[in-house]
Amino acid sequence: MSEAVPSVVAIDIGTHKVSVLIGKVHAPDKIQVIGMASARNKGMNKGKIVSLEKVINAIKNAVQEAEDMAECRVHSAWVAIPSTELQSFYAAGRTPITNPERSITTTEVVRALDLAKASHMTPDHYLASAVPLGFELDDSPEWVQNPINLSAHSMTAHYQLMMLPISTMQNLDRAMKGANILVEKMVVSTLATAEGSLLKDEKEYGVCLLDIGAGTTNIAVYIEGHLALAHTIQRGGENVTRDIAAVLQTTTEEAERVKLLYGCVDLHQVKPEHMIQFEAIDGPQSISRIELSEIIIARYEEILGLVRKELEKRGALQSLYHGVVLTGDVCQIEGMITLTRRMLGVSAHLGNPPVQVYADEQHLSALRRSMYATAAGLLMFSQGDMQEAIEEPEVNEGKRPLLDRIVNGWNELNNKLKGIF
């Protein structure tokens, strides 16, 4: 890559694939992708690493292909943290304003944040993200977004906190080390996907991002521009594949092939006479496309039912004025938008690829595929002062204990928080 133009690399480690984007940063809102690749990942199950060696190989394979396309070498990257074990909490921290002028400074803001996270932190978890929702001054019903230099006797800071098990960080850290890639920063994958799929107006007026992946389904609700809910359901496209394999008495590979070629979740789109040939364990067989669709619909109705239950439990469903935005490879199946509208009772459409991230005409259609939505969001994160990122130190990286680096990341997070006001 040319030294005259800054570059950034994004790596999204998913249950079934690792996606890599290499971009040239011409401007914060103009990132040209010059290298992209996706490699099969056989080392994860439902977002958890079960074979470190296989995950490392997947990272190496994807990075190598992207390097070849970009004609460069990758040494460091932004990385998406899988959201599988994500725990999301609302938290508030209240602090008095004790200086003589009763003027709020960054010291009070950071103190309130420390108090907010203290009630939820546990020894086996680390804080992956702290999203500020607003600041309440002297019990005023109106929250402010920037309290610095305002006067008050007390301030309550409201946050959406996201925590992940330390073991998740440790395993991901080992995988990146094994691939000889330095982690610049980490972002919770749900947040990165939202950044690469949602419009600003959608976040303002109320929207639910529904990312249906191979092993899990991630929910992220934005209301009035802020993250209001993040939740993971332990169901995904691979559950559908297993259902097909069980009913058809075939292999997982054959079930996946049939699902990708003929899958549909809207019976009105299926011709009754359409028959599908497949290889069962005991030889060639056939099934009507309607029967196949009924198998698939049953599982996706279950998943969407769980999504609706979570949205109703949190009181979020009635606030989704811009409905649901679908992303993830699973959402490309025929009829998914219609099924989502029916199950959730709100409007639904596919995610909006970010115009800030682009490629030449030859590769643009590939870049717009859903498999790169999270990585594209990571590229956008790299150009913003977004406190949802976990900072990694640049010096002596390989020699410092992981927990020290997590602590350092939180300190850097606090420093960034001071800097945004």
What is the span of the domain harbouring residue 266?
A: 200-351
Do 304 and 219 touch, CB atoms closer than 8 A? no
pTM metric for this prediction:
0.81
Question: Does residue 293 lie within any of the structural domains?
Answer: yes
For position 194, what pLDDT does the model report? 92
Question: Does residue 235 lie within any of the structural domains?
Answer: yes
**Which residues, other chains included, contact 218 with Cβ-Cβ below 8 Å and sequence gap of 6+?**
83, 86, 189, 190, 193, 209, 210, 211, 230, 231, 232, 233
How far is residue 206 from each of residues 113, 323, 346, measured CA to CA in Å? 25, 7, 12
For position 162, what pLDDT does the model report? 83
- Residue 75 CB burial class (10 angstroms; 0-12, 13-18, ≥19): exposed
Question: Does residue 215 lie within any of the structural domains?
Answer: yes
Task: Say how far apart CA 128 and CA 14 lie, in whole Å.
Answer: 18
For position 130, what pLDDT does the model report? 81
Any bridge partners for residue 276, and if so which?
287
Residue for token pair 């079930």 = 255
Any bridge partners for residue 144, and if so which?
135
* Amino acid identity, position 329: D
The total number of structural domains in the chain stands at 1
Do 58 and 17 touch, CB atoms closer than 8 A? yes
For position 346, what pLDDT does the model report? 96
Task: Say how far apart CA 52 and CA 412 lie, in whole Å.
Answer: 29
Question: Does residue 261 lie within any of the structural domains?
Answer: yes
Q: Which of 38, 145, 155 is nearest to 108 (CA)?
A: 155
Question: Does residue 367 lie within any of the structural domains?
Answer: no
Do 93 and 198 touch, CB atoms closer than 8 A? no
Question: Does residue 175 lie within any of the structural domains?
Answer: no
Question: Does residue 77 lie within any of the structural domains?
Answer: no
Question: Does residue 312 lie within any of the structural domains?
Answer: yes
For position 251, which CATH number holds? 3.30.420.40
For position 4, what pLDDT does the model report? 57
Per-residue pLDDT in tens (0 to 9) along the chain, 421 residues: 444 568 999 999 988 899 999 999 999 899 999 999 999 999 998 778 999 999 999 999 999 999 999 999 999 999 998 887 888 888 999 999 999 999 999 999 999 999 998 878 888 888 877 888 889 999 898 999 899 999 999 999 998 888 888 888 889 989 999 999 999 988 888 889 999 999 999 999 999 999 998 888 999 999 888 888 888 899 999 999 999 999 999 999 999 999 999 999 999 999 989 999 999 999 999 999 999 999 999 999 999 999 999 999 988 999 999 999 999 878 889 999 999 999 999 999 999 888 999 999 999 999 998 889 999 999 998 987 444 444 333 334 444 444 444 434 444 444 444 444 4
Task: Say how far apart CA 24 and CA 11 lie, in whole Å.
Answer: 15
